[in-house]
Amino acid sequence: MKKVAILFIILFSYFCGNIPLTENELRENVVISAAKLLGSPYRSGGTKESGFDCSGFVRHVMSENNIFISRSSSSQISDGKEVKISEVKPGDILIFKGANRRAKRPGHSGLVHHIDENGVVHFIHSASSKGITIDNLSMGYYKNRFIEARDVISTALMADKN
């Protein structure tokens, strides 16, 4: 009887581990993974829980969910596919200009956390002043620096199917 129970557990674990997630489930997992890191410190060049920079945080969260993307915000702008800001979903990557808003190149990235009932996009990111935190796109600082949104989740799911 004990051997049957062990075999059942092994088979159950094997088959449950191979059940593919839906896109919405994967997006939810990405947001949960990101939120678990709220309050972690900012660290220039950081890619671990002891401290993250913005793109290191985004890459870490994605890799925890078996989605592999570029390391820097300037290269993350090429990952996945561009989506209109009005069509973003939780887990999408947001790309911003860095501290110099006149510069046209990417310098910051974050993840869509949620869209509120007024359509305001809230995102989770590693801010140099606060560490992992949630802000929103209606804030002037981020609104003025926003470049584009990228969907890497549906792209990764399509690649897995092929």
pLDDT tens per residue across span 6-65: 444 444 444 555 578 999 999 999 999 999 999 999 999 999 999 999 999 999 999 999
pLDDT tens, residue by residue, 66-123 = 999 999 999 999 999 999 999 999 999 999 998 887 888 999 999 999 999 999 999 9
pLDDT of residue 101: 73
C-alpha 126/C-alpha 53 separation (Å) is: 6
Backbone angles phi and psi of 159, in degrees to 5: -65, -35
pLDDT of residue 20: 83
DSSP β-bridge partners for residue 127 = 131
Residue 156 CB neighbours (<10 A):
19
pLDDT of residue 5: 45
C-alpha 61/C-alpha 111 separation (Å) is: 9
Pairing label, strands 93-97, 146-151: antiparallel
Asked if residues 90 and 29 have their Cβ atoms less than 8 Å apart, the reply is no
Band (pLDDT 50/70/90 cuts) for residue 130 is very high
Report the amino acid identity of residue 25. E
Residues in the chain: 162
Question: For residue 128, is pLDDT > 50?
Answer: yes
Host H or E run for residue 106: strand 106-115
